[in-house]
Amino acid sequence: MEVRREKEVAIEVDGVLRSVPERITVKEALWHIGYSITAGLPTEGALYAPCGVGACWDCAVQIDGEVRRACVTEAKEGMKIRTDLPKDWVPLRIVGPTGGLPVGGVGTPWEARKNARSEFLEICCLVAGCNFRCPQCHNWMITHMGKGQAYTPLEAATMLTKMRKELELDRFCLSGGEITINRPWLIQLLKELRRLNPEPETHLHISTNGSLLTRGYIDELIDAGLTDFGIDLKGLHIDTFMRITGLKNKDLAQRCKDNAWNAVDYIVHHYREKVFVGVGIPYNEELISLEEIQRIGRELHNIDPSIQTTAMAYFNGGYRSQILWPSLDEMKAVHRLLEETGLNTVQCFATEFIPPSEP
């Protein structure tokens, strides 16, 4: 992040007067004077600014007594900035479309889909912001656009609960973007959803890239009421993972990939009787080979052959990719290949939904 400006402005940061180039954001100003900034993964002691467009509110700081987003707020003459947040600060996040989801997701158990009583399976909530830059992102208008209504966890939970009651459903799916950035917001949202929906049949489900799911975070999510994990494993080889996620730093990509794979293993072996975990595997011949798909299937079988595995057709989502949608025959071949690894429940999201084969 190189900054070359002739004119400067004076700002106060954590009580110290500093000079920074004009017409840069507060995030850039903090970096310029020596503060640590991270984007891919949170780091202790650093400002975490994963989305870069003001969508996730993870980079919030105090500016002239008001909590604002560092990544989209311009540093101006005389501005007073504090990098700590008020003790009574209630986290915010931009929430995109919400409503009934008819097909479910990676973390929706096949039995729930098979036994659905209505046209909808879950109440879906899409939040803005992501720590990946997947070129084929199909939710990019939500993920990478920082405009929209920001909600507190209680406001979002109240809205979603109202929809759930209207549609008479018992499942919530929280997705995005990447749902696990802005950890305080997500934890509070789950607690509010559980408080407003105390019925034992209520399921709280997240769909995530898994990159932030450390053991401590997983434990906290489950303690807050989460019941179902849907985790996308975007490759086994690091080159594949970087191609699919758009990450350029190999070390960062490796840590993100390892977190996702380790999360699946940890949930399966420590919470087998308490929560459900489903895994998503992307396919497009431009992004990943059938050989790697087969190896992923074998690795999952080694963890637990009962893991529900969903192959997903990746295609041009209108963002930065021109790849074509895989044909139905291609996806049927992927489906067969994964079943041949010994996995018990393999389904496929393609131009048509391909259900698991009967045992």
- pLDDT tens sequence across 300-347: 999 999 999 999 999 887 777 788 999 999 999 999 999 999 999 999
| Average pLDDT in the chain | 94
Q: Is the dihedral of CA 85, 89, 95, 98 positive or negative?
A: positive
β-pairing, 93-101 vs 203-208, is unpaired
Given a cut of 60, whether residue 295 has pLDDT beyond it is yes
CATH 3.20.20.70 domain extents, the chain: 93-354
Q: Which of 296, 289, 279 is nearest to 341 (CA)?
A: 296
β-pairing, 8-13 vs 80-82, is parallel
Q: Give helix 290-303 / helix 250-270 axis angle, nearest 10°.
A: 40
d(CA 76, CA 274): 51
Q: What is the mean pLDDT of residues 41-60?
A: 95
Given a cut of 90, whether residue 118 has pLDDT beyond it is no
What CATH superfamily is the domain 8-82? Beta-grasp domain (3.10.20.30)
Give the pLDDT of residue 141. 84
Q: Is the dihedral of CA 261, 265, 267, 268 positive or negative?
A: positive
Give the pLDDT of residue 113. 86
Give the pLDDT of residue 144. 84
Given a cut of 80, whether residue 3 has pLDDT beyond it is no
Given a cut of 60, whether residue 63 has pLDDT beyond it is yes
Give the pLDDT of residue 296. 98
Give the pLDDT of residue 4. 56
The structure's pTM equals 0.94
Reported as a single tens digit per residue, the pLDDT across 119-177 is 899 999 999 999 999 999 988 888 887 788 999 999 999 999 999 999 999 999 999 89
d(CA 87, CA 155): 19
**Could you tell me the fold of the domain covering 93-354?**
TIM Barrel (3.20.20)
Reported as a single tens digit per residue, the pLDDT across 181-237 is 999 999 999 999 999 999 999 999 999 999 999 999 999 999 999 999 999 999 999
123 contacts 99 by C-beta, under 8 angstroms: yes
Q: Which tops the pLDDT comparison, 358 or 156?
A: 156
- Strand positions, DSSP E, the chain: 8-13, 16-21, 37-38, 47-48, 60-63, 66-69, 80-82, 93-101, 122-127, 150-151, 171-176, 203-208, 228-232, 276-283, 308-313, 346-349, 353-354
Widest pairwise Cα distance in the chain:
71
Sorting pLDDT into bands at 50, 70 and 90, what band is 6?
low
DSSP 329-349: HHHHHHHHHHHHTT-S-EEEE
Give the pLDDT of residue 320. 75
Give the pLDDT of residue 316. 84
Give the pLDDT of residue 359. 67
β-pairing, 203-208 vs 228-232, is parallel
d(CA 28, CA 75): 9
Sorting pLDDT into bands at 50, 70 and 90, what band is 2?
low
Give the pLDDT of residue 12. 98
CATH 3.10.20.30 domain extents, the chain: 8-82
Which range among 59-68, 101-110, 283-292 shows the weakest confidence by mean pLDDT?
101-110
In single-letter form, the type of residue at position 23 comes to: R
Structure-block tokens of residue 22? 């004009």
